[in-house]
Amino acid sequence: MSTSSSGWFEAEVRERHSFLTFQQPDKVADAIRLFSEVKLWQEVAPKMASTEQAVKDQLRLIVDRRNKIAHEADLDPSYPGTRWPIKDSDVEQSLQFLRKLCECIHTSVV
């Protein structure tokens, strides 16, 4: 594929999908299907030493927490005016998971 045709493809994907987030597992798989026939979660889960369901559940939890932080000020409805607690270890664990997930997705589609 020439550079100009790959540039065209990238521009087309950006234009058609720029308003989408591709955060939820099904949406991530939809995005990968734009350029690969790989069965994403079947390929990724073993590389993460996990099950498809566990990987998708962990991603959903991270995305849900991110959305609470970004859209709801991370407020705990049980205690109005207070934020949900978050530990440094929670953040580090999420970052490690996301790094590994991205690496596994990359190696699954190249």
pLDDT on residue 77:
86
- Give residue limits of the domains in the chain: 20-109
pLDDT on residue 13:
76
pLDDT on residue 1:
45
pLDDT on residue 7:
84
Q: How confident is the model at residue 4 (pLDDT cuts 50, 70, 90)?
A: low
pLDDT in tens, 8-62: 878 877 787 777 788 999 999 999 998 899 999 999 999 999 999 999 999 999 9
R_g (Cα) of the chain, nearest Å: 17
pLDDT on residue 9:
78
Which helix (H) or strand (E) segment holds residue 66: the answer is helix 52-72
pLDDT in tens, 56-106: 999 999 999 999 999 988 998 888 889 999 999 999 999 999 999 999 999
Q: What is the pTM for the complete model shown?
A: 0.82
